[in-house]
Amino acid sequence: MDISNLKCSVHQPHFFPWLGYLAKIASSDVFVLLDDVQFTRRNFQNRCKIISSNGTENWISVPLQSASQSSRINQMEIAANFSPNQIMAKLDAVYTKSIHYQSFRSEIAAILYHPHEKLIDLTTETMKWLLHTLNIPHQLEFLSSSLNLSHQIDPNQRIIDICKHYSATQYIAGSGGKNYMHLEMFEDANIEVCWQDFKHNPIQYYSIDNKFHFGLSSLDAIFSLGSEATRALIYRHILD
């Protein structure tokens, strides 16, 4: 690691995130979980996409207790009707015949059946498991909530302040950031923005239906390819 040229990336925690998310972590020297911003409904913070038994895309979700629209991610609590049995039944129905599924099934079940009160605790565990299984170096103890940043500041300034906190001179952003990031603020702060574009350079592999599906949970690749091949796939798409 070149401590004079640190790369930082920041992202909301996701539930069993997709391969592009993990490629962003693998590209970073410092990765910060943005856990103290507003929770986004019908996003990936409490659900992930898998393939279904008939080849269509499907979701596995974590139900949440009712909360105000302004609730932050680290305030969201898992609902009493959360059923690990339902999630495992969905995975079993689709992936039982996948060559690598049984190697990981018990570990995934252990995460889901372990009691978690807060969504952030569960999502962090799913991410740590993926990174450990794929041997991707990480330090997920970096939470934005621990930095005590003001919630009133501009979102761009929040990212800049996080980068400065860790003395990072480069920030890794997804291509969607071009629609809302104020790049002149990063330039003024002497922080270079590095773009990752998975829409034009997707991480491709064949799922169990012998087709490529963009944005599936990393679980799908692990069950289809195994951990070593999935890791190799991710590392072909990291930023130098």
CA distances from 191 to 46, 143, 160, 185, 186 (A): 31, 20, 8, 9, 5
Neighbours of 179 (CB within 10 A): 6
* CB-facing half-sphere around the CA of 97: CA atoms within 13 A: 7
- For residue 51, the surrounding DSSP H or E stretch is strand 47-51
pLDDT at 138: 74
Nearest to 137 by CA among 125, 128, 147: 128
Residuewise pLDDT in 10s, the chain (240 residues)? 555 689 999 999 999 999 999 999 999 999 999 999 999 998 999 999 999 888 889 999 999 999 888 899 999 999 999 999 999 999 999 999 999 999 999 999 999 999 999 999 999 999 999 999 999 987 666 889 988 887 777 999 999 999 999 999 999 998 888 888 999 999 999 999 999 988 767 888 999 888 889 999 999 999 999 999 999 999 998 877
pLDDT at 150: 76
User: 104 and 66 in contact (C-beta within 8 Å)?
Assistant: no
User: 103 and 68 in contact (C-beta within 8 Å)?
Assistant: no
d(CA 13, CA 49): 15
User: 215 and 205 in contact (C-beta within 8 Å)?
Assistant: no
